[in-house]
Copies of this chain bind each other. A is one copy, B any other.
Amino acid sequence: MLFPLAIDPLVSQLSSYFSRLPLLTAATEVDAPIVLTGVLLSLVVIYVASKLGGELSKRLDLPPVLGELIAGVVVGVSALHLLIFPEGSLQASDSVIMNILQRIDHLSPASLTGIFQSQSEAISILAELGVIVLLFEIGLESDLQQLKAVGAQAVTVACVGVAAPFVAGTGGLMWLFHVPAIPAIFAGAALTATSIGITAKVLSELGQLKSTEGQIIVGAAVIDDVLGILVLAVVASLAKTGTIDIVNVVYLIISATVFLIGSILLGSFFNQSFVAIVQKLQTRGNIVIPALAFAFFMAFLANAIHLEAILGAFAAGLVLDETDQRKELDEQVKPIADLLVPIFFVTVAAKADLTVFNPMVPENIPGLTIAAFLVAVAIVGKVITGWVVFGQPGINRLAIGIGMIPRGEVGLVFAGIGLASGALDKPLAAAMIIMVILTTFLAPPFLRFAFGTAESE
């Protein structure tokens, strides 16, 4: 639907809208229904794949999320090319869905490129909303009191889990592989930040999210994310100027601390207002819409001060967990999470190109060697964190360490910035990507094993 600004410039406005603008690579208004066709087909692919993968995984007594990830790999760039994104050398003509649209609508190559771009952006935004809703739900399921109780352990785990892989990774690359200091620091830094999404989902599926281990992992992963952003800021300014931008680092430390502690403190006040507002509302969605508006606002706020959006959503969940409406809210957030979260997992896996693992291609060998080292450091450097937990006799230390293993977006951002600044070379960047993929895929079965062992003891 469109309404122009005023009658006078109407013709030129509408005409320009309905004719194709040559400079726009994004889809124009004419192509909008076709973008929607593509989005709908992509969503059907995502839901069918995630359900098939999740159910198969469940039948094999594995966490459903692992099956969703593998299903994502199958429909993605590694195999079927049903769900691909305009990254690297991938184009509209590589996408099976785009070829279907092409057959239906006989599009020009230029408008196909625009539609591919727009469709991919829409799916990516839906995936981002998915991980935001996931962390909101995890916040709702987490217990603020319990999280406070394990706070000191979580901070210890997070700090060791950042320091150990960073030192071992950077040192090992310099002394074993004779990598120069700056790229070694980059690769070491990429090893620091845990990706909370996958671990938390597996924990939730295993019924371990509310266990002491689960709460330490979630708490540490949240702190870890903040530390990862700090390390990124330091390393990026180091690579750019050769010095560290102290002002920016101090700003990030202060803003992250103020944000997390501030939102939890303000929470006890907001709790009451939320309950009061919700009780006055009489129209449909009286609980879930104010709650999501709050979660999205907190995510916006976190994003605006250059933290991760998911931190804000998690904080919002923690705050609303303390209200009386919690149970009803839980019930209503579930279908929304069911709608959006699979988009995140399938998309993450669909973008992961497993062909970089093929050892038959000679170009892959140097990357694979360094990758093997980085994966080892990534796993060992996080697994040891379980043994720094104090004052918790009988705790499952292996599970805590394994829960911290998966790396995600932050690691890839390091690779990207390193390459753009010229600090990284080809094999090293590829190794970082392999490290992210492997830690992501290995953590779910490992974690299940760690908790399974504990249960049978």
Residue of B nearest to A329 (CB): B335
Taken together as a complex, chains A and B put the C-alpha atoms of A437 and B132 apart, in Å, by 35
Write out the residue numbers on chain B whose beta carbons fall within 8 Å of the beta carbon of A1.
347-348, 351-352, 408-409, 412
Most chain B C-beta atoms within 10 Å of own C-beta, residue among A5, A27, A348, A364: A5
Q: In the assembled complex, how far is the CB of residue A273 from the closest CB belonging to chain B, in whole angstroms? A: 14
Residues of A in contact (CB 8 Å), total 109
Q: Of residues 330 to 376 in A, which have CB atoms within 8 Å of B's CB atoms?
A: 332-336, 338-339, 342, 347-348, 351-353, 355-356, 361, 363-364, 367
Q: Which residues of B contact A29 (CB under 8 A)?
A: 87, 416
Q: Which residues of B contact A353 (CB under 8 A)?
A: 3-6
Q: How far is the CA of A118 from the CA of B24 in the complex (A)?
A: 12
Q: How many copies does the complex hold?
A: 2
Interface contact A367-B426, CB-CB below 8 Å = no
Whole-angstrom distance between the alpha carbons of A292 and B121 in the complex? Answer: 21
B residues less than 8 Å from A293 (CB atoms): 43-44, 47-48, 51
* Residues 288-315 of A at the B interface (beta carbon under 8 Å): 288-290, 292-293, 296-297, 299-300, 303-304, 309
The digit string for A1-25, where 1 denotes a CB below 8 A from any CB of B, is 1111111111101110111000111
Q: Kindly state the separation between the CA atoms of A253 and B25 in the bound complex, as whole angstroms.
A: 34
Q: Which residue of chain B lies nearest to A101 when distances are taken between CB atoms in the complex? A: B304
**A420 close to B (CB within 8 Å):** yes
Besides A1-B409, A39-B128, A333-B335, 19 new A-B residue pairs in contact (Cβ under 8 A), listed by A number:
A3-B412, A4-B356, A6-B361, A7-B427, A9-B88, A10-B419, A10-B426, A10-B430, A13-B89, A14-B419, A40-B132, A43-B293, A44-B297, A58-B282, A121-B121, A285-B338, A285-B339, A288-B335, A332-B338
Q: What are the 7 A-B residue pairs with the smallest beta carbon separation, nearest first?
A: A285-B338, A13-B88, A47-B293, A4-B88, A18-B420, A26-B26, A40-B300
Report 29 cross-chain contacts, Cβ distance below 8 Å, ordered by A residue. Answer: A1-B351, A2-B88, A2-B351, A3-B87, A3-B356, A4-B87, A5-B77, A5-B353, A10-B433, A11-B425, A17-B416, A26-B121, A29-B87, A37-B309, A40-B299, A43-B296, A47-B290, A47-B296, A50-B289, A51-B281, A51-B290, A51-B293, A55-B280, A55-B282, A58-B283, A64-B283, A121-B121, A288-B338, A336-B336
